[in-house]
Amino acid sequence: MRTLITGGTLVGPLGAAPTDVLVDGETVAALLAPPAALGASARGAAGGGPAASGAGRPAVDADRVIDATGKYVIPGGVDVHTHMELPFGGTAASDTFATGSAAAAWGGTTTIVDFAVQRTGEVVEEGLAAWHAKAEGQCAIDYGFHMIMGGVDEAALKAMDSLVAHEGVTSFKLFMAYPGVFFSDDGQILRAMQRAADSGATIMMHAENGLAIDVLVAQALARGDTDPIHHGLTRPSALEGEATHRASVLAQVAGNPPLYFVHLSASEALGVVSAARAAGRNVFAETCPQYLYLSLEEHLGAPGFEGAKYVASPPLRTNTAPHADDLWRGLRTDDLAVVSTDHCPFCLKEQKELGRGDFSKIPNGIGTVEHRIDLIYQGVVTGKISLQRWVETCATTPARMFGLYPRKGVIAPGSDADIVVYDPNATTTISAATHHMNLDHSAWEGFEIAGKVDTVLSRGSVVVSGGQFSGRAGHGRYVPRGLSQYLR
Ligand code: URP
Ligand code: ZN
Ligand code: ZN
Ligand code: ZN
């Protein structure tokens, strides 16, 4: 099957240019100057020209032609932070690999990297096998795994090397938050970092001082402060900054493994990352749409129990300080290299409800996997980031950061044909009534989006087109990953 995507503007990290894309089977076969461009010297630069076989270019033989006139053609999104079916807080994230990966596809994301879990006393390899069992045959798009290390001991440290060498799992998430759940102490963190420094693996860090937070939480509950907003008030941004600094120092002592801060939310933490990067260190960070658009006051502080929809860790930050502005600046300067979602949806009914009367029992997480490409495109519309930066932060850099490039994250000959045709002239309004995530509400309800995902190809198969889903569970394959290709 040969598919020609014609008439569109191809956007990559190097720029945007009118380019036709020929797909053969599952991969990109060629990038072609559009017929109009080839004839341009004779006919003037303007004009769309006929699609497949205009003047100046030999006819292209294709079984299917996708007309992308007036639209952007971008690499499929790579969301390197999702938690499908994650057991958490006495329940489990409401999207399965089937529902969550389909929702991702609807939103122009064609690869997810989810987190397999090992807890204290559990065997790392068994945790990984359990996540393979959940995802196998279920995904509409390709997927990989990071490993959450919730119990760093001798066996777990050994397993890190084996996962890097044999399983295509090259990144390990550690938690300075959640004592008694996923928490590692500084000694465990140091040892895991030393191991990563040896193997080349990336350490992903959830940087919040969980022990201090637990004290603040207990004090708030004792005062009778039980509403969702106290989730935010008991997790101050200074404790994200402190943990970020501590992790950065530990990594330096451990021999400088690549260190990647997940879901960075606060100016203090960004300052630490910027300083480490200015010193030439291999320190990286991602942020998530919720920290760019939502706030402690407006969302977590919504009346009644509404704020529960917005409980995630780190929490939404105050809009009385320039956290969000700083994060947008970080995205421009590459101190924030990636936008991921930290997709971890819990329904209000029966899940978020577990924390009515005690904010500390609200399962942590927001569902965004369907909306990342749209939400970050709004930064292009408002002039906060460039078109290229949109593609870079949502597709190219996450692919390079986590060893998926150039198979993913770029439209180039030989790459997987994971391609999104994006219509900048269409508009949509986000709503739980129309989204495809398995979630009874939306943190993004009513958000007006300038732009719309038009067509999505996953390894050459059309999975979304004309408002219809044509993907299938099981089309998506496990993608073993290499080491980070984003080191300095
Ligand atoms: O609130 C969040 N972020 N839930 C998912 C788990 C994590 O820490 O990433
Ligand atoms: Zn996580
Ligand atoms: Zn986390
Ligand atoms: Zn997460």
Per-residue pLDDT reduced to its tens digit, 82-105: 999 999 989 999 999 999 999 999
- Which residues 6+ apart lie within 8 Å of 279 measured at CB? none
- Domain formed by 76-401, architecture: Alpha-Beta Barrel (3.20)
365 CB less than 6 Å from ligand 1?
Answer: yes
Compute the mean pLDDT over every residue in the chain, rounded to the nearest whole number.
95
pLDDT value at residue 328: 98
pLDDT value at residue 41: 44
Pocket-testing residue among 117, 260, 291, 364, ligand 1, by greatest number of atoms within 8 A of Cβ:
364
230 CB less than 6 Å from ligand 1?
Answer: no
Angle between helices 186-199 and 154-162 (to 10 degrees): 30
The tens digit of pLDDT for each residue in 281-312 reads 999 999 999 999 999 999 999 999 999 999 99
For residue 148, how far is its CA from the centre of ligand 2 (angstroms)? 7
Q: Partners of 73 in the beta sheet?
A: 10, 421
The closest-lying atom of ligand 1 relative to the alpha carbon of residue 182 is 8
Higher pLDDT, 36 or 316: 316
The closest-lying atom of ligand 1 relative to the alpha carbon of residue 173 is 9
Measured CA to CA, the distance from residue 283 to residue 453 in angstroms comes to 32
* Residue extents of the structural domains in the chain: 76-401
For residue 280, how far is its CA from the centre of ligand 2 (angstroms)? 26
Please work out, in degrees rounded to the nearest 5, the angle formed at the alpha carbon of residue 272 by the alpha carbons of 267 and 275.
Answer: 120
Q: Phi and psi of 343, rounded to 5°?
A: -60, 115
For residue 136, how far is its CA from the centre of ligand 4 (angstroms)? 21
Residue 124 has pLDDT above 60, yes or no: yes
The one-letter amino acid code at 87 reads P
Give yes or no for a contact between 327 and 287, defined as CB atoms under 8 angstroms apart: yes
The tens digit of pLDDT for each residue in 418-474 reads 999 999 999 999 999 999 999 999 999 999 999 999 999 999 999 999 999 999 999
For residue 401, how far is its CA from the centre of ligand 1 (angstroms)? 20
Give the residue from 236, 250, 123, 242 showing the smallest Cα distance to 174.
250
Range list of β-strands (E), 25-63:
27-32
**Banded pLDDT at 184 (limits 50, 70, 90):** very high
The closest-lying atom of ligand 1 relative to the alpha carbon of residue 311 is 1
Neighbours of 161 (CB within 10 A): 14
User: Tokens in use for 310?
Assistant: 């917005």
Measured CA to CA, the distance from residue 280 to residue 434 in angstroms comes to 45
For residue 175, how far is its CA from the centre of ligand 3 (angstroms)? 7
What is the arithmetic mean of pLDDT over 173-189? 97
The CA R_g of the chain, rounded to the nearest whole Å, is: 22
**Tell me, what's the ipTM?**
0.91
Residue 47 has pLDDT above 50, yes or no: no
- Which residues 6+ apart lie within 8 Å of 217 measured at CB? 230, 234, 360
The tens digit of pLDDT for each residue in 202-224 reads 999 999 999 999 999 999 999 99
342 CB less than 6 Å from ligand 1?
Answer: yes
- For every residue of 168-214, DSSP letters joined together read S--EEEEESS-TTTTB--HHHHHHHHHHHHHHTPEEEEE---HHHHH
For residue 84, how far is its CA from the centre of ligand 3 (angstroms)? 14
Pocket-testing residue among 313, 343, 352, 361, ligand 1, by greatest number of atoms within 8 A of Cβ:
313
352 CB less than 6 Å from ligand 1?
Answer: no
- Which residues 6+ apart lie within 8 Å of 379 measured at CB? 292, 328, 331, 385, 390
**In this structure, which ligand is nearest to the CA of 173?**
2
Q: What percent of the chain has pLDDT over 90?
A: 93
The pairing of strands 64-67 and 77-82 is unpaired
**Banded pLDDT at 43 (limits 50, 70, 90):** very low
**Banded pLDDT at 367 (limits 50, 70, 90):** very high
The closest residue, in CA terms, to atom 9 on ligand 1 is 342
Measured CA to CA, the distance from residue 478 to residue 377 in angstroms comes to 28
368 CB less than 6 Å from ligand 1?
Answer: no
What is the arithmetic mean of pLDDT over 64-80? 98
The closest residue, in CA terms, to atom 4 on ligand 1 is 365
pLDDT value at residue 55: 58
13 CB less than 6 Å from ligand 1?
Answer: no
Residue 401 has pLDDT above 70, yes or no: yes
Residue 149 has pLDDT above 80, yes or no: yes
pLDDT value at residue 59: 87
**Banded pLDDT at 48 (limits 50, 70, 90):** very low
**In this structure, which ligand is nearest to the CA of 315?**
1
pLDDT value at residue 66: 98
Pocket-testing residue among 344, 351, 439, ligand 1, by greatest number of atoms within 8 A of Cβ:
344
For residue 313, how far is its CA from the centre of ligand 1 (angstroms)? 5
**In this structure, which ligand is nearest to the CA of 117?**
2
What is the arithmetic mean of pLDDT over 137-163? 98
pLDDT value at residue 42: 39
**Banded pLDDT at 38 (limits 50, 70, 90):** low
pLDDT value at residue 50: 38
pLDDT value at residue 45: 34
The tens digit of pLDDT for each residue in 243-269 reads 999 999 999 999 999 999 999 999 999
What is the arithmetic mean of pLDDT over 39-46? 41
